[in-house]
């Protein structure tokens, strides 16, 4: 079916909770995707970092197919032969004592919130029903009602109340604000080591170390949402590794399923995750053997194929070169990021980044604006020098074009 027919059908029968670029993708391989007319694009979004391993990675697909032909779901009413190995392998890789598997990112965040509340009542001695959680302005942690309770984006919140009590919000990157916000009832501080959705906001150097120190001193759980920044995206296994900081609770999702199958989860010590007893929490599909097999292979591929190191090398090259080539471009306000999570912020007067994303799509590079003025570039982690050079050339040229020359895909 052709592109416009498919778009019409989707717009007629599908809810309009997204505003996609009108590219209709049919096939993907590594860093490349192909639309229904066979046109090739370089994917510089990677499904918001869910595709760190690239599209349809051969080994992960093989693991999926092999497992799908054997066993897909047991529910946790019974055990399966994949979940134990995923738990062990991810704990060893990440340096934690226990893993609690879920499916989507938002579910993993909810799991972390429940963990912290229960921990506060049982371990910290907070009076029942009074646990508080601290979060940051401009955070993104998912879309459930509890999670949007502490969103500061009106679009995500308006009209969805009433909300969940027990959350306070402080400025991001401000360790002093964290210390001042802590009370005897504070259970946890939930934070992204780099705020992806907010526009690739990198906190000041030393922030995560200070957070670690403050949380330790006040017996508050430091919970890092590394759903977007984790698993190699920033050139280290976790973004917290850049400051050699170990959060008490590590929240993962997205690339844990290799962009193939939703797998998420929470890592913590035995003391913390040990608060869960049978029946207290769960999800029918969590820890299913199909997802566990996919996650195991997704982790192996990241490590064995050197993707994390490649993200560091290519990311450094990408940011360095863009800064140089866009130096003097009057539209560009800031270029920032770590590894292959890169944000190019335009001045407000430019009137939004969307039109540049459209022109880039016409040229065969897929990326997406976040929060109007920032373009996020986050290609799969195995991108090579040649594709990186081509991408940078397109970006530099497009950001230099007269507005009237910019084309749109639709
Ligand atoms: C994507 C994302 C989530 C939510 O994950 P879903 O799978 O979409 O529910 C949470 N936190 C961060 C930092 C994310 O990037």
The domain segmentation of the chain, as residue ranges, is 3-57+306-405, 58-304
Which residues are CB-contacts of 332 (< 8 A; sequence separation ≥ 6)? 326, 344, 345, 346, 347, 399
Is any ligand 1 atom within 6 A of the Cβ of residue 340?
Answer: no
User: How far, in Å, CA of 49 to CA of 32, rounded?
Assistant: 15
124, 254, 338, 368: the catalytic one is 254
pLDDT in tens, 150-202: 999 999 999 999 999 999 999 999 999 999 999 999 999 999 999 999 999 99
Q: How far is CA 20 from CA 17, 251, 339, 361, in A?
A: 10, 27, 26, 12
225, 236, 238, 356: the catalytic one is 225
138, 146, 228: residue to mutate for ligand 1 pocket, most atoms within 8 A of CB: 228
pLDDT in tens, 253-294: 999 999 999 999 999 999 999 999 999 999 999 999 999 999
Q: What is the mean pLDDT of the chain?
A: 98
CA of 91 to the centre of ligand 1 (A): 21
Radius of gyration from C-alpha coordinates of the chain: 21
Is any ligand 1 atom within 6 A of the Cβ of residue 105?
Answer: yes
Q: Check if 225 is active-site.
A: yes
Structure confidence at residue 410 (pLDDT)? 79
Is any ligand 1 atom within 6 A of the Cβ of residue 41?
Answer: no
371 pLDDT tier (thresholds 50, 70, 90): confident
The correct answer on CATH 3.20.20.30 for the domain covering 58-304 is: no
pLDDT in tens, 116-147: 999 999 999 999 999 999 999 999 999 999 99
Predicted TM-score (pTM) of the model is 0.98
CA of 106 to the centre of ligand 1 (A): 6
Cβ-in-10-Å burial (0-12, 13-18, 19+) of 69 comes to exposed
Torsion angle of the four alpha carbons 278, 281, 284, 290, in this order, in degrees rounded to the nearest 10: -80
CA neighbor of 106 nearest in space, from 132, 140, 74: 140
CATH assignment, 3-57+306-405: 3.90.1150.10
pLDDT in tens, 113-123: 999 999 999 99
User: How far, in Å, CA of 135 to CA of 221, rounded?
Assistant: 12
């Amino acid at each position: 079916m052709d592109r416009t027919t498919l778009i019409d059908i989707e717009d007629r029968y599908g809810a309009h909770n997204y505003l996609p670029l009108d590219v209709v993708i049919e096939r993907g391989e590594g860093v490349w995707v192909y639309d229904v007319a066979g046109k090739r694009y370089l994917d510089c979004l990677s499904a918001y970092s869910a595709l760190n391993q690239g599209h349809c990675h051969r080994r992960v697909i093989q693991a999926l197919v092999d497992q799908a032909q054997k066993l897909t779901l047991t529910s946790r009413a019974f055990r399966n032969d994949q979940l134990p190995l995923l738990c062990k392998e991810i704990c060893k890789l990440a340096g934690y004592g226990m893993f609690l598997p879920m499916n989507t990112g938002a579910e993993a965040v909810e799991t972390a919130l429940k963990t912290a509340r229960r921990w506060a009542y049982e371990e910290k001695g907070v009076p029942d029903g009074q646990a508080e959680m601290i979060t940051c302005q401009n955070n993104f942690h998912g879309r459930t009602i509890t999670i949007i309770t502490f969103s500061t984006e009106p679009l995500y919140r308006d009209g969805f109340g009433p909300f969940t009590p027990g959350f306070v919000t402080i400025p991001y990157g401000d360790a002093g604000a964290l210390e001042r916000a802590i009370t005897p009832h504070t259970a946890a501080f939930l934070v992204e080591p780099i705020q992806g959705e907010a526009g690739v906001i990198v906190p000041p150097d030393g922030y995560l170390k200070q957070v670690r120190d403050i949380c330790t001193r006040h017996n508050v759980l430091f919970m890092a949402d590394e759903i977007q920044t984790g698993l190699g995206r920033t050139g280290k296994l976790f973004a917290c590794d850049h400051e050699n900081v170990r959060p008490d609770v590590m929240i993962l999702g997205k690339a844990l399923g290799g962009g193939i199958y939703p797998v998420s989860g929470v890592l913590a010590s035995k003391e913390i995750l040990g608060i869960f007893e049978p029946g207290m929490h769960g999800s029918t599909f969590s820890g299913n053997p199909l997802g566990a097999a996919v996650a195991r292979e997704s982790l192996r591929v990241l490590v064995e194929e050197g993707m994390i190191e490649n993200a560091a090398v290519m990311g450094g090259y990408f940011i360095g070169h863009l800064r140089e080539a866009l130096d003097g471009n009057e539209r560009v306000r800031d270029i920032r990021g770590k590894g292959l999570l890169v944000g190019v912020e335009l001045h407000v007067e430019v009137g939004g980044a969307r039109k540049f994303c459209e022109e880039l799509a016409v040229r065969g590079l897929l990326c997406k604006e976040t929060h109007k003025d920032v373009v996020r570039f986050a290609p799969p982690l195995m991108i090579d020098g040649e594709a990186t050079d081509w991408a940078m050339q397109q970006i530099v040229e497009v950001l230099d074009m007269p507005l009237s020359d910019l084309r749109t895909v639709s």
